[in-house]
Structure 1
């Protein structure tokens, strides 16, 4: 029984170290996600939903880290009360995590539809938040796209990040020629862009990317959600295994204590003075 107890103790410690690592990952994901601002993109709906997800990620990450420390302490010291408290609170966290994950999966299609609908409700991308504006410009340069649904999302203030390179071999197929409101473009970009961008702004005809960025942005969001769900399911699986091992270890410690107590009682009875036999 002592060997079995030692094995369960080591296994419980290993599982809780893994849980602590996953808790740190979940915490960091929540902290990093909280730095992104996408409210202008989704008219507030997804940002509210995303804010709740970020808070849950940070909260579950912290709770998992603290409980994993309690689990390591209980297993290493073979502390019955610590193991019992750990099993109870970890079970509660597991149930809550599973319930919220199921709710998030069921709500995913509605959230995606809300995001896609918000693409068509934009008046002009140029009037959006500065952070979102900067991130969309980066996406347009890297993915060679322009606008969320079409380049007209920028109205007459198409940024240089939409411009097609001069050395495009299939420019006619991948780009579209547009007329530019030179005065608006120059006044909006004069203090932000380099001299080369101003040269582009002075050209009344420009080639901009024909492909739009909406599907690419949605794909990035879906990939981020898949990664998040993968972390959550891995965390839930390890949680369940850790709770089972902790309960088994708790049971073995109790059984060992009971056997030790019975053995001590037998020894006391065996060596107890019996006056009637001495007579």
Structure 2
């Protein structure tokens, strides 16, 4: 078996070391998420269980594949490298399978979100769950209504009222038919802020998916080169002989005569 190029082995080892770090970080995030969930008394644990399982599985699989690739490069094991190559092919296809539809759906996300949110207006007549969610967004983002303060009609929740300590440019004075005094509310609607964070999360997800796909493609290339080098050294050497059809025939034997005695 031919020896794999030393520089290629080092590059491949560094590549798998990076993959192992990524797997460890994913597992660490899952542990931290589980810890904070338990610290909060296990609230909404049922909805987070599937997410934790996905994180644990992704981290463990990434860690195992990186160890497999590093071991295969160190021991020059063709079987381990072939398994690593198959895992990289599957991983690259999965990342593209998820990332490409998200990339095509991103331009239409804003219109889809706007249509869904407008269907719950007016907010003062929406369900309690929608009202509580809107109140939390307004208090946290310092905004008023989804698209304007008129989304609440004449019912003003405390979450969108400006305090006396708010900056002047963040507030506006509005009047209502049912109120005898002027009220100051946040001037910014919540929908643009919500969309900013949603698109930011989508862009981060796209960056992760396509980066992982590119890394998987790089792993495919490196492992393929190493397997090719091993296969090249394991092929039997073939002896080539020159055909004798056009070769010059040897000279005929000549009869030797003893010289006559004198």
User: Could you say which TM-score interval applies, normalised by the shorter chain?
Assistant: 0.5 to 0.7
Q: Distance in 1 between matches of 2:127 and 2:154?
A: 12
2:144 paired residue among 146, 151, 158: 146
3-state SS in 2 of match to 1:122: coil
> What residue is the counterpart of 2:81 in the other structure?
83
Q: Distance in 1 between matches of 2:69 and 2:24?
A: 16
Larger radius of gyration: 2
Corresponding pairs, count: 217
Q: Distance in 1 between matches of 2:96 and 2:57?
A: 15
Q: Between Structure 1 and Structure 2, which shows a larger proportion of helix residues? A: 1
> What residue is the counterpart of 2:18 in the other structure?
18
3-state SS in 1 of match to 2:174: strand
Q: CA deviation at 1:216?
A: 0.7
Instruction: Flag the 1:59–1:97 CA change in 2: closer, same or farther, 3 A.
Output: farther
For the 8 Å contact 1:98–1:236, the answer to whether it is kept is yes
1:165-184 to 2 correspondence within 5 Å?
Answer: 165-167=163-165, 170=168, 174-179=171-176
Q: Distance in 2 between matches of 1:71 and 1:158?
A: 61
Q: Distance in 2 between matches of 1:143 and 1:100?
A: 31
Q: Distance in 2 between matches of 1:169 and 1:75?
A: 61
Q: Distance in 1 between matches of 2:95 and 2:167?
A: 51
Q: CA deviation at 1:118?
A: 1.2
1:75-114 to 2 correspondence within 5 Å?
Answer: 75-114=73-112
For the 8 Å contact 2:95–2:212, the answer to whether it is kept is no
In the alignment, structure 1 residue 217 sits paired with structure 2 residue 183: no
3-state SS in 2 of match to 1:175: strand
Instruction: Flag the 1:55–1:105 CA change in 2: closer, same or farther, 3 A.
Output: farther
> What residue is the counterpart of 2:223 in the other structure?
246
Q: CA deviation at 1:180?
A: 9.4
1:1-279 to 2 correspondence within 5 Å?
Answer: 2=3, 5-23=5-23, 28=29, 63-123=61-121, 124=123, 127-129=127-129, 133=132, 136-167=134-165, 170=168, 174-179=171-176, 205-258=182-235
CA deviations over 1:104-152 (Å, ceiling 9, x no partner): 111223333211111211142663538x835x54543454211111223
> What residue is the counterpart of 1:196 in the other structure?
none
Larger displacement relative to structure 2 (18-27 or 76-85): 18-27
Q: Distance in 2 between matches of 1:242 and 1:169?
A: 53
Q: Distance in 2 between matches of 1:66 and 1:175?
A: 57
The normalised TM-score by structure 1 is 0.63
Q: Distance in 1 between matches of 2:73 and 2:62?
A: 16
CA deviations over 1:166-189 (Å, ceiling 9, x no partner): 245646x8313244979xxxxxxx
For the 8 Å contact 1:22–1:235, the answer to whether it is kept is no
Q: Distance in 2 between matches of 1:95 and 1:61?
A: 18
The normalised TM-score by structure 2 is 0.66
For the 8 Å contact 1:19–1:65, the answer to whether it is kept is yes
